[in-house]
Structure formats: structure tokens, C-alpha cells
């Protein structure tokens, strides 16, 4: 197994009608602040319901090899890409004690969105979960998932494809989206820079690339050679 590490986006777009749920989502404010090349102000902001932005283009230089099999996709919170602060999603300090906002998250494989992703459901002050933990409501100021200073996987997993098919050829379009679905009063919420995607994959191999046959048997039809799985052999008699 190999993984890409946690890599932030370089592009963004409004979700629009892409979720197919009858809502036309407008963009979050300041979405460029989540880009891995951004500096200074680090928060993309949402203050009303029915807003959604997709961030993408995390993998742009064949970081996932052609022919690889993708086994897991994660949205991960790490430190800000400029080295300052920790990333998270939730409400900010200007939110009042009785104000709330409801957020969902999605993955995007280059052509389709996943279903709403699952929060871990852990008990946190001011955060309640619903819809089988796919929806979180943040009540009051500075209610953050995974927490103000806690880093790690926000959604997905190293062996979780979230119901999507992932083709390495589309990796420049892989992305994640956050949407707001409900508000009470006038909360201020958003996402802090440092959120990125991590892809876990296995590299494709059919054995030594230049060996077509062994004793008249096509290489593609050989599972093992001298007891060793053929895909794990790099050379036979010095032929790679």
C-alpha cells in the first residue's frame, strides 16, 4: 500500500445543482483561502443555508500512478499549509450562544459526488449529529470538528471509497465539498486552511514488464513462478 500524503486543493467551484437534491448551492465566501498556495487569512466562510463549495485539484502531477488501484479516500485536517495553525470546520468566535449552523461533507471523484459523508459521532460540546451521523449542527461559538486543535481524518478512510469509483486518470479533478443546510439566527462558520485529500492505493503490476511468455505460457496467465507471486517479481534471469 502507498498513499499520497495530505495535499490541499488548488481550485474551487460552487456545488450548484451537482448533488441532485433539488437545491442550487451558492458558493462559500473566500473559498481561495483553503488553497494550499494561499497565505495570510485562512478561513473560507459560510453564514447562510444552501451554500456549498467544492475544492479540488489536489493531485496534479501523476502523484497517483497510472494503473494504480485506489483503495481509500480521506478528507484530513492537518496544519495550515503555510505552517501556521490547525485546520478544522465549524463555527467561529463571532457566533452567538444561541446561533447554529448545520454542515455536511461530500467527496467528488471527478464526475460524481458521494452521498453525505459520516461524522465520527463522538461527543463534543455544542455539536449534535443526525441522519445517521451524516449531518452535524454546531451551536454556539468555536464549535469545531474534530476540535480546535485536534488533527486527523475528518471523513472517509484508507479502505473506504465512499461508494464511488476512483480512476487515477481523473485525479486532477478529485475533490471534497462542504455544504450548509440550515441556520438559526446569524452564525458565522467555515473551514480553516490545512484541509486536504489523502489517497491510499496499490500500484498495478503483472510481473516483469518485458517477459511475455515463460515456457509457452503467457505472463498474464501466470499467478506464481517458483512459488513467488508473479506480480512481486521484478526480474527473471536479469530480464525486467
Instruction: Give residue-wise pLDDT tens across range 179-224.
Output: 999 999 999 999 999 999 999 999 976 556 555 566 767 655 666 6
How far is 63 from 18, CA to CA, in rounded Å? 27
C-alpha cell at 196: 486536504
Q: Which residues contact 157 (CB under 8 A, 6 or more apart)?
A: 72, 74
What is the pTM for the complete model shown? 0.86
Q: 3-state DSSP call for residue 214?
A: strand
Instruction: Give residue-wise pLDDT tens across range 7-23.
Output: 999 999 999 999 999 99
How far is 136 from 142, CA to CA, in rounded Å? 14
Alpha-carbon torsion, ordered 154, 155, 157, 163, to 10 deg: -170
pLDDT band, residue 239 (cuts 50/70/90): low
Residue labelled with grid coordinates 459523508: 117
For the chain, the domains span 2-202, 206-240
Instruction: Give residue-wise pLDDT tens across range 76-117.
Output: 999 999 988 999 999 999 999 999 999 999 999 999 999 999
Amino acid at each position: 500500500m502507498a498513499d499520497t500524503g495530505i495535499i490541499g486543493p488548488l481550485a474551487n467551484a460552487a456545488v450548484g445543482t451537482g448533488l441532485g437534491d433539488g437545491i442550487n448551492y451558492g458558493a462559500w465566501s473566500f473559498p481561495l483561502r483553503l488553497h494550499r498556495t494561499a497565505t495570510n487569512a485562512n478561513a473560507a466562510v459560510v453564514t447562510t443555508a444552501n451554500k456549498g463549495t467544492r475544492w479540488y485539484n489536489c493531485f496534479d502531477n501523476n502523484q497517483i500512478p497510472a494503473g494504480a488501484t485506489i483503495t481509500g479516500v480521506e478528507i484530513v485536517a492537518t496544519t495550515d499549509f503555510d505552517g501556521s495553525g490547525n485546520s478544522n470546520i465549524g463555527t467561529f468566535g463571532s457566533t452567538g450562544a444561541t446561533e447554529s449552523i448545520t454542515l455536511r461533507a461530500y467527496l467528488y471523484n471527478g464526475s460524481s459526488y458521494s452521498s453525505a459523508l459520516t461524522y465520527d459521532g463522538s461527543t463534543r460540546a455544542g455539536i449534535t449529529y443526525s441522519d445517521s451521523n451524516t449531518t452535524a449542527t454546531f451551536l454556539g461559538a468555536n464549535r469545531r470538528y474534530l476540535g480546535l486543535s485536534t488533527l486527523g481524518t475528518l471523513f472517509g478512510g484508507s479502505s473506504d471509497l465512499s461508494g464511488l469509483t476512483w480512476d487515477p486518470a481523473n485525479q486532477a479533478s478529485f475533490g471534497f465539498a462542504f455544504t450548509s443546510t440550515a441556520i438559526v439566527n446569524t452564525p458565522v462558520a467555515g473551514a480553516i486552511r490545512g484541509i486536504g485529500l489523502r489517497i491510499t492505493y496499490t500500484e498495478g503490476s503483472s510481473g516483469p514488464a518485458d517477459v511475455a511468455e515463460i515456457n509457452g505460457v503467457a505472463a498474464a496467465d501466470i499467478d506464481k513462478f517458483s512459488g513467488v507471486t508473479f506480480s512481486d517479481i521484478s526480474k527473471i534471469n536479469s530480464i525486467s
